[in-house]
Amino acid sequence: MIIVILLLAAGVLCGRLLGDGAYAVAGEATQYILYALLALVGFELGGRSGIFAQVKNRWRHAVAVPLAAALGSVAGGVLAGLLLGMELWQSAAVSAGYGWYSLSSLILAEIDAPLGAMAFLSNVLREVIAIVSIPLLTKKLSPWAGIAAGGATAMDVTLPLVTRSAGVEYSPFAFLSGAALSALVPVTLTIIFSIAGVQ
> Cα(109)–Cα(165) distance, rounded to whole angstroms?
36
> Cα(22)–Cα(44) distance, rounded to whole angstroms?
32
**CB 56 → other proteins: shortest distance, Å?**
13
Residues in region 173-192 near other proteins by CB under 8 A: 175, 179, 182-183
> Cα(104)–Cα(15) distance, rounded to whole angstroms?
24
Residues in region 20-79 near other proteins by CB under 8 A: 20, 22-23, 25-27, 29-30, 33-47, 58, 60-61, 64-65, 67-77, 79
> Cα(81)–Cα(118) distance, rounded to whole angstroms?
13
**CB 66 → other proteins: shortest distance, Å?**
8
Residues in region 131-150 near other proteins by CB under 8 A: 131, 133, 137, 141-142, 144-145, 147-149
Rank residues 13 and 195 by Cβ distance to other proteins and give the closer one.
13
Write the CB contacts of 132 (distance below 8 Å, at least 6 apart in sequence): 1, 4, 5, 8
> Cα(155)–Cα(168) distance, rounded to whole angstroms?
13
> Cα(173)–Cα(159) distance, rounded to whole angstroms?
9
Q: In 3D, which of 38, 192, 185, 193 has the Cα closest to residue 100?
A: 185
Residues in region 73-132 near other proteins by CB under 8 A: 73-77, 79-81, 83-84, 86, 91, 94-95, 98, 103, 114, 117-118, 120-131
Question: What is the size of the binding site for other proteins (CB under 8 A)?
Answer: 101
15 part of the interface to other proteins, by CB under 8 A: yes
**CB 197 → other proteins: shortest distance, Å?**
21
